[in-house]
A = this chain, B = another copy of it.
Amino acid sequence: MKFKKDFNCNDCPLKCEIYKAIVETGGDFSNLHPMQVSLVKNENICKQGSQVTHAIYLVSGTAKLFIEGLNNHNIILYILNPNSYIGLLSFFETPTYHYSVKPIEDACVCMVDLNFIKHLYIQNHRFLISLNIIFGKFVASIMQKIITLNQKNIRGRVADSLLYLAELHGSSNFNMLLTRKELGELSAISEENTVRLLTEFKNEGIISVNGRNIGIADKSLLKRISEFG
């Protein structure tokens, strides 16, 4: 974990939502005090149960957002790409995080004091609305996740996860970055069954597997499997 203090937004190549909102509202950066932090794998970006003090924005790298359950058994809810809010589900007056976030490759995040954010969205309603839209999408996909995890068999769930990852990477061929165990946590199944299903799908010619590189050969079939058939 390496801090870059006294960071200046004008030097940042990523013109994030917060930056845009400030410019739109009058361009006063004097109270912003952004903090950029570099992290390596397995460091916590935020930790379930700890206090929410800053809005966190993923600048570069990829991260997993997960709930820490019983007996060290986690469930991964989303994979986060650069240019997305991390603290979002906790922006809204939640004292502590209900989930944890860790990078799955080296990453860089930017932290902004939460009081600044509140002040900003009260002044700038377009910003507030944009937060709410993202928030709404998160909730929608959690709902979907609850159904998927509870009502599909493990074949359908892994198919779902693979389609999700392809969508996320914008291609049918991608390096999923996740270990087998993590792919299992994304589908809420055991590591062993994850392996079994990957080889099963491979043998059926639905996907190609090369280490963590996945290629989806028959997307429509995978979709039918995901829909539970």
Contact = CB atoms under 8 A, between A and B. Distances in A.
Interface in A129-157: 129, 132-133, 135-137, 139-140, 142-147, 149-152
A125 to B, nearest CB: 5
Given A125-B122, A146-B145, A150-B75, A139 B69 contact: no
Contacts of A77: 146
A228 interface: yes
A151 B142 CA distance: 17
A40 interface: no
A94 B147 contact: no
A152 B122 CA distance: 41
A70 B147 contact: yes
B92 A133 contact: yes
Q: How many copies does the complex hold?
A: 2
A188 B150 contact: yes
A94 B152 contact: no
A57 interface: no
Main secondary structure of the interface of A (DSSP, over half): helix
A9 interface: no
Contacts of A140: 94, 98
Contacts of A137: 94
A89 interface: yes
A73 interface: yes
A99 B146 CA distance: 12
A140 B128 CA distance: 21
Given A71-B151, A146-B146, 4 more contacts: A70-B147, A75-B146, A92-B132, A93-B129
28 contacts: A67-B146, A67-B147, A69-B147, A69-B151, A70-B151, A70-B152, A70-B228, A75-B146, A75-B147, A89-B139, A90-B136, A91-B132, A92-B135, A92-B136, A93-B129, A93-B132, A93-B133, A94-B139, A94-B140, A98-B143, A128-B128, A139-B142, A142-B142, A142-B146, A145-B146, A146-B146, A150-B150, A150-B188
